[in-house]
Amino acid sequence: MKKLLTLLFAIGGVALLLTQVHAQEERVRHIAPANPVVADKDVNSQPIPRLPDGKIDITGPWFGGGSNGDIERDGGLKPGELPLLPSARELMARRLPKDEPYTACLPMGVPRVNPYPWKFAMSYTSKGLSHIYQLHETGDAGAHRVIYMDGRTHPQDPIPTWWGHSIGRWDGDALVIDTVGYNDKFWFDSKGTPHTEKLHTVERWTRINFGRMTHQFTIDDPGAFSRSVTLNFTASLIRPGIKDGSDLLEFICLEDNQYGAAAGLQGVGSGK
């Protein structure tokens, strides 16, 4: 009976966490008095701003530019067009909602996390731009992504991590991010689209006007995909001056991944 109650509490905790994540997304969509992003009719209402060094300002904050639900659909592909290998499709079919890594407070990874509010933060030294940090409102486990802009190359044998090893460069006004060294633990979307540690991604972020930025996301993973594939997303600028909308808010996934504790229950996840 005790094990059954523990299981039921855990399931309830997972449901609560998923509800909290959904509420977080809905909060962003419905900040008063209307949708918080720059409206379609206003995307060209101002010139594209530039930084003091002359580069296009892509700092944000932004909403969108990725997919939490289905990268195939939201990335512009038709059903079945994502070139997954048979082994990857089989793995995806075996994955269950209860196995979702994010319900254990683990990072969402790229490009999945981008539907939630986020921004690029620039770090400069006397030699110029050295790092870009991609900061997310859903910064679980203290997650933040580092993009090295100082001309370094990838390490020959990177340690697999949730965000990988990212190096960036400017191609005109577009930011190009090349990333290797991912682990295979995060899911590309809530459907469970998989990848392996062979994953190599190339992103191209281009601010096309005041209110929108395109995200061209290319996947190359011979362990899970039969060929490279490019997905296309669009990020929307959060409108300046909106109450609680122009800055990232705090969102905390409970420490130690205790679903029951998140639901206010005692003894769940403690082994007692």
Q: Domain range spanning residue 175?
A: 36-254
Does 247 reside within a domain? Answer: yes
| Interatomic CA distance for residues 218 and 127, integer angstroms | 30
pLDDT at 7: 42
pLDDT tens track for 12-48: 444 434 444 444 444 344 333 446 899 999 999 999 9
Question: For residues 69 and 233, is the Cβ–Cβ distance under 8 A?
Answer: no
Q: Is the pLDDT of residue 261 over 80?
A: no
Confidence of residue 106 (pLDDT cuts 50, 70, 90): confident
pLDDT tens track for 156-197: 999 999 999 999 999 999 999 999 999 999 999 999 999 999
Does 29 reside within a domain? Answer: no
Instruction: Note the pTM of the prediction, 2 decimals.
Output: 0.81
Biggest CA-to-CA distance, the chain: 66
Does 260 reside within a domain? Answer: no
Does 198 reside within a domain? Answer: yes
Query: Where does residue 201 rank: exposed (0-12), middle (13-18), buried (19+ CB within 10 A)?
Result: buried
pLDDT at 246: 60
Phi and psi at 259, nearest 5°, equal -60, -45
Does 62 reside within a domain? Answer: yes
Q: Is the pLDDT of residue 2 over 70?
A: no
Name, in order, each residue with C-beta under 8 angstroms of 245's C-beta and a sequence gap of 6 or more.
28, 31, 36, 238, 239
| Interatomic CA distance for residues 109 and 120, integer angstroms | 16
Does 16 reside within a domain? Answer: no
Does 185 reside within a domain? Answer: yes
Q: How many domains does the chain have?
A: 1
| Interatomic CA distance for residues 50 and 47, integer angstroms | 9
Does 65 reside within a domain? Answer: yes
